[in-house]
Amino acid sequence: MRRQYLDLKAKHPEAILFFRLGDFYETFDDDAETCARLLQITLTGREMGRGLRVPMAGVPFHAVQGYLARLVQLGRTVAVCEQVEDARPGAPARGMMAREVTRIVTPGTVVEPGMLDGARNNFLLAVVATPVARGGDFPTWAIAYADVSTGEFRCTQFGGPDGSEEVRREIARIDPAECIVPRAEAGPTLEAAACAGRVVTRWDAWRWELGAASQALGRAFGVATLSGFGLDDLPEATRAAGALVAYLANAHAGRPPALDGVATYLPGRHVRLDPFTRRNLDLDVPARGSGPSLLRTIDETRTAPGARLLRRWVGQPLVDVDAIRARHDCVASLFGDGGRRGAVRTLLGSVADVERIASRAANGSATPRDLHAMRESLGAAGRIAEALRDGPNDAAAALADGIDPCVEVQDLVERAIFLAPRAAPATPGRFEGAASNGRGAGDPLAAEPLVRPGFSRELDGLVAGVQEARRWIAGLEGVERERTGIPTLKVGYNRVFGYYIHVPTRHADRVPADYVRRQTVADGERFVTSDLKAKEDVVIEAAAAIAKAERQAYDGVLATIAADAERLRATASALAAIDVVAGLAEVAVRRGYVRPDVDAGTELEIHGGRHPVVEASMDGDVAFVPNDCVLDGTGRWALILTGPNMAGKSTYLRSVALIVLMAQAGSFVPAMRARIGVVDRVFTRVGAHDDLAAGRSTFMVEMVEAAQILRYATGRSLVILDEIGRGTGTRDGLAIAQAVVEYLHGRGGHEADASAAGRTRTLFATHYHELASLESTIPGVANARLEVLEEGDRVAFLHRVVPGAAGRSYGIHVARLAGMPRAVTDRAAALLADDADDRTPGGTDAPARTGRGSGAGKGPSDGDAARRVTGTPARVGPMQLTLFAPPSHPVAEAIREVDVEALTPLEALNLLAKLRGMVDRA
């Protein structure tokens, strides 16, 4: 057995090998140690030949899914090895059981329902890049991704200077459970770098060659040419798609689940969102992540496929105006028609995950319960179609056309498939009087039938043939109790000994002479009689034939359903779309959203806009303050928003971006009115955040990101800059921020000539009031500020955006609001006042005055007292820092000496350790 184990293990060195031994899957050696640690199961040992004892850890076969799920979640791969000869009960296994790896479970190839999250797709993604030498100046990239649990399969390829970013964007959007990349001889590859931070599996290089990949695709879909899939001109996409199907076939030991056929797509048909923007706007949370998100806020779907589709809509907002309006039309008809909306949503409540069930039917793993859930769902689908048509002949009614209730499938399942009552403690089994009174696993009498009596004549015949023997066994307990007078005598079943009569120890003296002892157990002894043995032979023999016939009948049903898989999937996707638009209509009604007007222009006009997520998280007493935003690529294209910390700048910026993205995803928006010239790309950048994992310091990150915007923003893009330039000194930051705005203006000018689009619509929030001066120097730039109400030395933030620039930072006021002790804030105010007195006019203080000037007469900041406490923002920043740490503390001194910009991540960690040491010693 050890040799058998080692042979199998050698074939799957990268996987944990689950080796089937009786009722357990065992792991050995290093695998055992890994599993004991990760699964918190007991590590034991086992003799393996002379004097060899190896570590072993096992899990019971009936609970294997849970353990597999946990390992796979941790990014591990498990090779499952089964015994492939069937073990007859009673027949002692002679010689070595043959074993085979029947399945390689990896995060991206899971089909088991217990291991999947209904609300999200489980994508496997293949990525490949052609070396620069073959692809011109830039590598050509291709990705293919598939969800084996739904059959969805897509691929694309792209190149050009933006290719590397595009591939990162797509991977972030798809959020695959597992990435496969070509295995390389040495060194890091482009592909592996693009998948950084994810589960990456390397897959043999030859699988990615065009020939091998085309063949793999041809085999997978049973076609001689790939032209039908539109892959003729997409060799790189073909390579990725082919490698992916080959990987799947391998993971499923040559019997891969069926995919839908591969569809090509163009990333350019959707709004381009880089990974940072997705995160920054909280569009969605990553798998197993927590916290609020746009998706969570607007998800009122009632089915798992609906939830998955909404995730796709939110992740991939459209750029095609007609397609966007078509979605709005559907939402609008259900928005205004509470009756239809309610009826449809109620019916959706009884719709199961038809998409995944159809896939399981196609690959033969659907259970009877699955099939009945599908039958019920199809019935509900028919009623949903009726409900949608029960009203005006509008966009919602048209959705009903996508539904095909597949009546024959419903009918077939109804006729053929046995449905056991849910969670019935005593399943009656196939035979009357054969209640499974805990006789034990494997008892043929307790086996739940798959197929209804009357469906298969052959099966019914076999069943009838052993009815007498079965009745006899089922009645034996009563008969023997009477005969022996032992009231607690039991008839049971076990895999090794077959049927037996159990007699508790204290009745041992009443055992009749014809009982033959088979086994002694803790609480008694087990016997057989020659009659029981004879009946058992009949039953066991027939059970095998019945099981075979039944499986055949069942597989026949599955095959009939699989032949209809396309119709089923089409209906499933129609239902998902209905679920999404009904959910969007529902959330729009509940939260007071309106239909946005999306057109091909370059304007952006939002009246009374709100931040959907912040608004939803606010409790009843406080109301979200709505704000307007009016930009136009050919007119007032940029808004510079100033205001103190906590005033609501970031919230405002994000609300604008979210409203645009919601609109283009097909949703209504949180506003009074919105007109949106369609946006091709949204960039958001936030100053002063670190990307230590990638080994870049704050300022570096900011500049890399800003450079990207300057390179790629078009006249249709929306750019949101929140405090960029913060990662460096005030003067540098200001200079860079100003140069960025000037550049966007100049570049927009050229584009305006070329493409008749406008300048990049830009929102720039900053606490540098100095930037407000740009309003007077660059055409199309306007100032806005967040209104602050001053009452003596206190401030209240009104969260209202008004024209003009802010005059001051209110850092000390914010400190007061935060509950800083009065003595400290008073002292800070005094220091600030001294500082202002010491200053000579000019220097960095001068632009601040300009900024204040442009808001003259509007803000409350023009009084003398206010002027006295106003310093430059750069001085307020460090001042706040010193409030937190008394100047004399050695740790503070040490921190002060640090040149943050010059630190490498490693140095930063070392420094942190040193500081921690100083604190511990103090």
Q: Which is nearer to Mg ion, 741 or 765 (CB)?
A: 765
Angle between helix 321-335 and helix 649-665 axes, rounded to 10 deg: 90
Residue 871 tokens read as 């310093």
- Sole window of 45-53, 144-152, 275-283, 648-656 interacting with ligand ADP (rule: CB under 6 A): 648-656
User: What string marks each residue from 768 to 807 as x (binds ligand ADP by CB under 6 A) or -?
Assistant: -------------------------------x--------
Eight-state DSSP code of residue 698: H
Nearest-approach distance from CB 766 to Mg ion, in angstroms: 10
Geometric angle at alpha carbon 277, from 715 and 797, rounded to 5°: 95
Q: Which is nearer to ligand ADP, 174 or 660 (CB)?
A: 660
Would you count residue 280 as binding ligand ADP (CB under 6 A)?
Answer: no
- Sole window of 42-50, 415-423, 559-567, 645-653 interacting with ligand ADP (rule: CB under 6 A): 645-653
- Sole window of 274-282, 342-350, 433-441, 639-647 interacting with ligand ADP (rule: CB under 6 A): 639-647
Task: Report what 247 binds from Mg ion, ligand ADP, none; CB cut-off 5-8 Å by kind.
Answer: none
Nearest-approach distance from CB 144 to ligand ADP, in angstroms: 40
Would you count residue 650 as binding Mg ion (CB under 5 A)?
Answer: yes
Quick one: which of 121, 359, 650, 766 contacts ligand ADP (CB under 6 A)? 650
Would you count residue 333 as binding Mg ion (CB under 5 A)?
Answer: no
Q: Which is nearer to ligand ADP, 306 or 643 (CB)?
A: 643
Quick one: which of 105, 614, 686, 721 contacts ligand ADP (CB under 6 A)? 614
Q: Which is nearer to ligand ADP, 444 or 643 (CB)?
A: 643
User: What string marks each residue from 155 to 174 as x (binds ligand ADP by CB under 6 A) or -?
Assistant: --------------------
- Sole window of 60-68, 295-303, 546-554, 643-651 interacting with ligand ADP (rule: CB under 6 A): 643-651
- Sole window of 48-56, 396-404, 505-513, 646-654 interacting with ligand ADP (rule: CB under 6 A): 646-654
- Sole window of 260-268, 543-551, 641-649, 864-872 interacting with ligand ADP (rule: CB under 6 A): 641-649
Q: Using alpha carbons, select from 176, 181, 128 the residue that is nearest to residue 152.
A: 176
Largest CA distance in the chain: 116
Integer Cα distance of 890 and 614 in angstroms: 40
Would you count residue 625 as binding ligand ADP (CB under 6 A)?
Answer: yes
Question: Does residue 123 contact residue 108 with C-beta atoms inside 8 Å?
Answer: yes
Angle between helix 565-591 and helix 304-315 axes, rounded to 10 deg: 70
- Sole window of 18-26, 51-59, 344-352, 638-646 interacting with ligand ADP (rule: CB under 6 A): 638-646
The radius of gyration of the chain from alpha carbons, rounded to an integer in Å, stands at 35
Would you count residue 641 as binding ligand ADP (CB under 6 A)?
Answer: no
Helices (H), 195-256: 210-221, 235-251
Nearest-approach distance from CB 626 to ligand ADP, in angstroms: 7
Residues with Cβ within 8 Å of 795's Cβ and at least 6 positions away in sequence, in order, are 644, 788, 789, 810, 813, 814, 817
Task: Report what 614 binds from ligand ADP, Mg ion, none; CB cut-off 5-8 Å by kind.
Answer: ligand ADP
Task: Report what 651 binds from Mg ion, ligand ADP, none; CB cut-off 5-8 Å by kind.
Answer: ligand ADP
Nearest-approach distance from CB 127 to Mg ion, in angstroms: 35
HEC letters along 121-179: CCCEEEEEECCHHHHCCCCCEEEEEEECCCCEEEEEEECCCCHHHHHHHHHHHHCCCEE
Q: Using alpha carbons, select from 162, 139, 145 the residue that is nearest to residue 681.
A: 162
Nearest-approach distance from CB 786 to ligand ADP, in angstroms: 6
Q: Using alpha carbons, select from 70, 68, 106, 74 the residue that is nearest to residue 201.
A: 106
Name beta bridge partners: 594: 669
Integer Cα distance of 180 and 128 in angstroms: 9
Residue 147 tokens read as 């969800």
Is 916 buried (19+), middle (13-18) or exposed (0-12) by CB count in 10 A? exposed
Name the residue number minimizing CB distance to ligand ADP: 648
Tokens 């494997």 belong to residue: 442
Q: Which is nearer to ligand ADP, 564 or 723 (CB)?
A: 723
Would you count residue 643 as binding ligand ADP (CB under 6 A)?
Answer: yes
Tokens 């040559």 belong to residue: 254
HEC letters along 33-44: HHHHHHHCCCCE
Would you count residue 624 as binding ligand ADP (CB under 6 A)?
Answer: yes
Number of H helices, E strands in the chain: 33, 27
Q: Which is nearer to ligand ADP, 654 or 875 (CB)?
A: 654
Integer Cα distance of 220 and 208 in angstroms: 15
Task: Report what 648 binds from Mg ion, ligand ADP, none; CB cut-off 5-8 Å by kind.
Answer: ligand ADP
Q: By the criterion CB under 5 A, which residues form the site for Mg ion?
A: 650
Q: By the criterion CB under 6 A, which residues form the site for ligand ADP?
A: 614, 624-625, 643, 645-651, 799
